[in-house]
Amino acid sequence: MGRHAGFLTAASALGRKFPDDGPHLICLPERTFSLNSFLAEVKATYDKYGRCVIAVSEGIHDSQGTPIITQLSKQVEHDAHGNVQLSGTGALADLLCDEIKSKLGIQRVRGDTFGYLQRSFIGCVSDVDQREAREVGEKAVQYALRGDRDGSVAIKRTGSYAVDYQLLPLETVAGKTRVMEDEFIAAGFGVTDAFRQYLSPLLGSGMPDAGRLRLNPVARILNPTG
């Protein structure tokens, strides 16, 4: 996901626990994507860590606003509205993998494309998100029962982190997209601490704790007579 807004892709940054954890690069549609800069960052990261994990929004584009997938693919699909088909095909991931293999000589490259996983997998729903989603529905029913108002229920933050549910006119939200603010996007391919602070309350009880084996090398003992 992420044709025009990179919030979900950027949220992958909260999966980092250690400094060398991935995703090492995060590519967002709010910024112009340069294939040469991307490949240079991939190489630098791979040389440093021996691996490079990348999170990419489907809507990454060049300085002219042209989706990168249309530049790399010889044939692109369109949906019923004539829009370039960005999601569900896995084409962008495959094409970027091919670029990394051919230009950088890294042979073991894999691309995974999420379709409905991030929209419907109940196993990774935060308690905050689950509660607020239900409360939005409840508030919508309350407004509907009044019979004199219509619109779209929106969540507005208040205080350090609390929410208020407001009814907004449809013309103020329909067909509009909120993109990530500049203060949330770091130079290069990353996000800022301001974004992490913005996002953290939505996790509720937090991310799963991923452990790591401690590096404790043991000297090799050879016994040629054994």
pLDDT confidence of residue 82: 58
Q: What is the pTM of this model?
A: 0.83
Q: In the chain, what percentage of residues exceed pLDDT 70?
A: 91
Q: Give the mean pLDDT of the chain.
A: 87
Mean pLDDT is lowest, of 54-68, 78-92, 140-154, for 78-92
Domains of the chain with bracketed CATH: 7-122+178-203 (3.40.50.460), 125-176 (no CATH)
Helix boundaries (H) for the chain: 7-10, 35-49, 68-72, 91-104, 117-120, 127-146, 193-199
**Cis link prior to 23 (omega < 30° from 0)?**
yes
How would residue 89 be classed by pLDDT, with cut points 50, 70 and 90? low
pLDDT at 13 > cutoff 90: yes
The span from the CA of 226 to the CA of 36, in Å, is 54
What's the whole-number mean pLDDT along residues 202-214?
A: 81
Residue 222 token pair: 């050879």
The span from the CA of 76 to the CA of 84, in Å, is 7
Q: Read off the pLDDT of residues 92-134 as tens digits, 9 standing for 90 and up.
A: 899 999 999 999 999 899 999 887 777 777 777 889 989 999 9
pLDDT confidence of residue 179: 94
- CA dihedral in degrees (7, 9, 10, 14; nearest 10)? 120
Where residue 131 falls (left for φ over 0; alpha for ψ -120 to 50; beta otherwise) is: alpha
